[in-house]
Structure formats: structure tokens, C-alpha cells
Amino acid sequence: MFSTLTERGASATLDALSSGANDYVTKPANVGSVGQSMESVREQLIPKIKALLGRPVAPVRPADAPVPPPRPAAPRTGPGKKPAVLVIGSSTGGPESLAKVLPQLPTSLPVPVLLVQHMPPVFTRQFAQRLDRLSALRVVEAADGSPLLPGTVHLAPGDHHLVVRKSSRGLHTGLTQGPPENFCRPAVDPLFRSAVAAYDGAVLGVVLTGMGADGRNGAGEIRAAGGTVVVQDQATSVVWGMPGAITQAGYADEVLPLDRIPEAINRHLTGVLTGTVVAGGAR
């Protein structure tokens, strides 16, 4: 799907994704020449095609080189911590995966949720609205300085990293325009790192389908601090880049098909006490 960076383009693209399209490329805007426009499309489109065909986007492995098997989760050096926050990362194929996972989470979810889906501005606002309509949880495009309350999902806005900040007011969202990480802004790693620091490792990290390796380093920090990491399996992922990178690194506590991930989230959050009552009660 080719899309303009407009409200109409975003709406049409999200409709296409919900109807079976796997990914999209945004049309260049405000570029200096036709040649620059073509190069922009080439840089976006070729890696996506290779990823969707199951070919490596990174440097090619020699044909005779052995493929390393998935590593089992690294042994823990201490007891795991009960999650106080849920952080989710996804990319290619993520919109539809999220549309299947979030509606399966209850209004009584006892922790706040922060979510990074690789998307440009405009798209994230409309995507948050669509998820909000599908889910019993409240889903919003994240704003700077919002308190982190149970039952609310904060989706990173396009072109901004979403992080957790701690202040005298408690824990709240933060938005930054720091350098892209893993070629992405928003990126998963800044969110995961900040959640580990703010919640002292009491983090449940979930990584769904997506190309690249964004989230791998952050997942390692979650596990090292006593948190838990759940990733989508290869068979149900549109692209097993992000969850595959975490699995190969030995950072995944569970590797599950998409339809089992909501159950895993609810299982890990069983017994967690709600810290704050959401104003207005259950939706």
C-alpha cells in the first residue's frame, strides 16, 4: 500500500492493513527532485519486500554458514519481579496483531500499558482511535506528562520516542525527539530502557511481529533487572525480525503464537494489585 502522510492517506492505509495488507510505504513529501523521491521510495520499499519474502535485510550470511538455533532463555540470577507495567513493541504486521491482542485484555487490567508501533505522525493518532474503539481498555496517542494509570494504553506518537519519567508527581509519560534508534523514531528500546529504570525492573515486555531488531537490547535489560519478556512466534509473525532477534539472544521467557499472547499477559498480571483507580471506573 502506498500512502500519503495525510488524514485521508492514514485512514485508507489502516483500512488496507485491516483487510489483509501486510505493510505500507509513505509517498515522499517536500523533497527536492524526482530522483530524491525515487530514492526515498527505494529505501523504504526494498527492505520491506525482502523482509516479507523472508530474506535477510542485514548483510547476507554465507550459504555454507550454519544457522544458529534459537537460544533458550538465559538463566536468571535472581527472582523474577511481579510486573507493575506492560510495555509492547511491534512493527511490520503489528497493527493487525495489536488489534487481536488488546481487545482480549480486560478493563480491570491492573497496570498501565505503553506501546510503540513503528508508524509516522497522523497514522498513530488514527491508529490509537481505532484500537480504542476495538478494546475495552482506553487507548490514546501518548502526550507528554500524562499520569500512568491502570487500564490506559499510551501509543507512541509518530516521530517521537515514548519513555517513562519519574517526578515528584509520580510516574508519567515523556516524549522526546532524540536521535532515531535502530533507524526508528519512535523506537522500542528507549521505552523498554526507561520502564526498567522507572519501575526497578518490574516490567512485562511483549514484542510482536516486526522487521529489524528494535527491542532486543531493551528486552535484555528487562530480563537482567528481573522482568519478563514474551514474544510472538515465527509461525504467526508477518516478519520474525524483532521477536526473532530477542529469541536468538536468549532474552525471551516465552515464545508464543499470537492467539496465546493475551492469555500470557493476563497470567503474568494475575495477583498484581491495582495501584490507582481509573477515574470514572470501568468503561
Task: Give the CA count within 13 Å in the CB-facing half-sphere of 258.
Answer: 22
- Cell 534508534 sits at which residue? 181
Which distant-in-sequence residues (6+ apart) come within 8 Å of 202 by Cβ? 81, 82, 83, 84, 85, 226, 227
CA distances to 111, 133, 135 from 151, rounded to whole Å, are 6, 14, 11
Question: Coil, strand or helix: which one is 247?
Answer: helix
Q: In the predicted model, what is the mean pLDDT of residues 70-82? A: 73
Q: Specify the pLDDT at position 30.
A: 73
β-pair type (161-167, 138-141) = unpaired
CA distances to 60, 66, 67, 240, 277 from 63, rounded to whole Å, are 9, 8, 10, 20, 56
Maximum mean pLDDT: which of 1-15, 26-40, 48-62, 137-151: 137-151
Q: In the predicted model, what is the mean pLDDT of residues 155-176? A: 96
- ∠ CA 25-28-29, nearest 5°, is 135
pLDDT category at 263 given cuts 50, 70, 90 is very high
pLDDT digits (tens, 9 = 90+) for 178-237: 999 999 999 999 999 999 999 999 999 999 999 999 999 999 999 999 999 999 999 999
Q: 220: alpha, beta or left, given left = phi > 0 and alpha = psi -120 to 50?
A: alpha
- Cell 481498555 sits at which residue? 137
With 50 as the cut, is the pLDDT of residue 278 above it?
no
- Report the percent of the chain where pLDDT is more than 70: 89
Q: In 3D, which of 93, 51, 112 has the Cα closest to residue 275?
A: 112
pLDDT digits (tens, 9 = 90+) for 78-119: 668 999 999 999 999 999 999 999 999 999 999 999 999 999
Question: For all residues of the chain together, what is the average pLDDT?
Answer: 89
- Say if CB 269 and CB 87 are below 8 A apart: no
Q: Specify the pLDDT at position 70.
A: 56
Question: How far is 248 from 213, CA to CA, in rounded Å?
Answer: 11
Q: Specify the pLDDT at position 155.
A: 98
Residues forming the active site: 91, 118, 214
> Cis peptide leading into 157, omega within 30 of 0?
no
Q: Specify the pLDDT at position 262.
A: 97
For the chain, list the domains and their CATH numbers.
Answer: 2-52 (no CATH), 85-269 (3.40.50.180)
pLDDT digits (tens, 9 = 90+) for 32-51: 788 888 888 898 889 889 88
Go through the chain and tell me how many residues it has. Answer: 283
Question: How far is 194 from 203, CA to CA, in rounded Å?
Answer: 10
Question: How far is 157 from 127, CA to CA, in rounded Å?
Answer: 10
Q: In 3D, which of 225, 229, 276 has the Cα closest to residue 249?
A: 229
With 80 as the cut, is the pLDDT of residue 72 above it?
no
Question: How far is 165 from 171, CA to CA, in rounded Å?
Answer: 6
Q: How large is the C-alpha radius of gyration of the chain?
A: 18
- Say if CB 272 and CB 84 are below 8 A apart: yes
